[in-house]
Amino acid sequence: MLVSACGTKEQKLPIFGQREVVGADTVYHTIAPFSFVNQDSALITNATFRDNIYVADFFFTSCRTICPIMKTQMLRVYQATAEMPDVKILSHTIDPEYDTVALLHDFAERLGVSSDRWHFVTGIKDSIYKIAQTSYFATAMEDKSEPDGFIHSGAFLLIDKKQRIRGKYDGTKEEDVNRLIVDIKKLRREDE
């Protein structure tokens, strides 16, 4: 008996956010313009990620709850994408008053990661909170009732080369991060 493989087309990842039909085109939600400073004092903007896929998250270095788990999981993403020069990581601190450039630099060094692939950024607190909520649809804010004084989402957000959100994953769950790694590969094939 002879079995033939049918060429099934891989289903594309969804595009998150609002969309608007303008004439014959569909205009999708994209990440708003931003300007932050990374662990090497370099200016990081949307242009830094031009023609790149990236994974974004929100954290703070003194966090004792979900952040250590998130960073362990993001380190897995970093290692899994080591041979993918078009895949970057963007981690925003939500405690810019404490998380100085020097502290973020030390944090990145302790993780053993390179700033050409993984940017730890700081900036104006309100700008960070606004981009979290309005561009990435993630929670990031001060909350004095929380153990460390902040509340934030544990989400990892997959952003495509057109600055659109293509996936949202729980950065505290290994199985969700496994799915993210698979989806990064899928998104890279989609962009070929």
Cβ-contact 93, 121 below 8 angstroms: yes
Find the mean pLDDT for residues 134-139. Answer: 93
pLDDT value of position 151 = 72
Q: What is the average pLDDT value for the chain, to the nearest integer?
A: 91
Cβ-contact 58, 168 below 8 angstroms: no
Provide CB contacts within 8 A for 112, sequence distance 6+. Answer: none
SS3 19: strand
Q: Which residues pair with 57 in a beta bridge?
A: 91
At 22-57, the pLDDT tens digits run 888 989 999 999 999 999 999 999 999 999 999 999
The ranges assigned to domains in the chain are: 37-190
pLDDT value of position 3 = 46
pLDDT value of position 191 = 73
Q: How confident is the model at residue 82 (pLDDT cuts 50, 70, 90)?
A: very high
Quick one: what percent of the chain has pLDDT higher than 70? 91
Nearest alpha-carbon partner for 120 in 131, 137, 107: 107
At 84-117, the pLDDT tens digits run 999 999 999 999 999 999 999 999 999 999 999 9
For 102-171, give the secondary structure using H, E and C: HHHHHHHHHHCCCCCCEEEEECCHHHHHHHHHHCCCCCEEECCCCCCCEEECCEEEEECCCCCEEEEEEC
Domain 37-190 has CATH 3.40.30.10: yes
SS3 35: strand
pLDDT of 64 above 50 = yes
pLDDT value of position 4 = 44
